[in-house]
Structure 1
Amino acid sequence: MTTINTYLTFDGTCEAAFNFYKSVFGGEFDYIGKFKDMPADPNCKVDEADHEKIMHVSLPISKETRLMGSDTGGEWASKLVTGNNFSISINTESKQDADSLFNKLSKNGTITMPMEETFWGAYFGMFTDQFGIQWMVNYDDPAKGNF
């Protein structure tokens, strides 16, 4: 089953926000990782000032939904607009579904990250559609044990 979740973006307050959301909704984080935990990549350098910021956090809200988020930093920080700092995150059942939805929804939009295998083991991409809505498309291969 394809699911849609909300993905929130913060400028350094993600951990505090998600600890608050956890206190409201209960439960435990599926995953919480900081930028300093990312493997080194010469194409994606993380400023020292951003090492303690949240790279990704996932909080189950129900069996079908999760609230997810991250901090932004570097070149993306100046583009953050509080109130518009969210994306619609689609999780699919197959790579083919991910590619199909990505290609259809991103038509006439702006691709910010093409669909590709990621260091965390997912097949993932991001774009802003022709109407200005930010989307993330993700496929977690069950054989890879993604977060």
Structure 2
Amino acid sequence: MQVSPYLFFRGDCRAAFEFYEKLLGAKIEAILPHAGTPAGEHVPEDWQDKIMHACMTIGDTLLMASDCPPEQFAKPQGFKVSLQIDEPSEAERVFAGLSEGGKIEMPLQETFWALRFGMVTDRFGTPWMINCGKSE
């Protein structure tokens, strides 16, 4: 069994996934717009290029997403996507990237459990936790 987060975006799923792919060294496995699919018949013309389904691998995990119609979109709350990063310098790089245009909730810093830990909501509205644990 595997748990995979599924994110909903306000129409900028493609931009978010392309950003995550570059920043995280991830790989977009699929990114399907409504156009050209049976779903295209059920969305307005200005929604044809919005993403019906996307998935990417980050390390050995899968992150999935789609664009959510404006009348159904709700701000993400009650969760964060957690990244476990081995090297402090890499945690700093990723946190800085996610912070650009976003909102830092807890600056990246050393804690009693981690060499680096911080929380940020990126410019696409996705909430993240970055954790670089201490060796045991």
Q: Give 1:37 deviation, angstroms.
A: 2.6
Cα 1:32–1:25 shift into 2, 3 Å: same
Q: How does 1:43-62 map to 2 (within 5 A)?
A: 45-62=42-59
Q: Give 1:84 deviation, angstroms.
A: 3.5
Distance 2:78 2:36 in 1: 23
1:72 partnered with 2:68: yes
> Counterpart amino acid of 2:4?
N
Distance 1:69 1:83 in 2: 13
Q: Which has the larger radius of gyration?
A: 2
Distance 2:50 2:78 in 1: 16
Distance 2:20 2:8 in 1: 14
Gaps of 5+ in 1: 87-147
Distance 1:52 1:85 in 2: 29
CA deviations 1:55-86 (Å, max 9, x no partner) are 111110122x111110012xxx2131222498
Structure 1-normalised TM-score? 0.48
27-36 vs 51-60, which deviates more? 27-36
Give the aligned partner of residue 27 of structure 1. 26
Cα 1:40–1:32 shift into 2, 3 Å: closer
Give the aligned partner of residue 35 of structure 2. 36
Distance 2:22 2:78 in 1: 21
Q: Give 1:40 deviation, angstroms.
A: 5.8
Cα 1:36–1:85 shift into 2, 3 Å: farther
Q: Secondary structure at the match of 1:78?
A: coil
The alignment-based identity, stated in percent, is 34
Structure 2-normalised TM-score? 0.51
Gaps of 5+ in 2: 80-136
Structure 2 contact 20–26 (Cα < 8 Å) conserved: no
Structure 2 contact 28–57 (Cα < 8 Å) conserved: yes
Cα 1:85–1:38 shift into 2, 3 Å: farther
> Counterpart amino acid of 2:64?
M
Distance 2:78 2:30 in 1: 20
Structure 2 contact 30–55 (Cα < 8 Å) conserved: yes
Q: Secondary structure at the match of 1:33?
A: strand
CA-atom RMSD, angstroms? 2.3
1:17 partnered with 2:16: yes
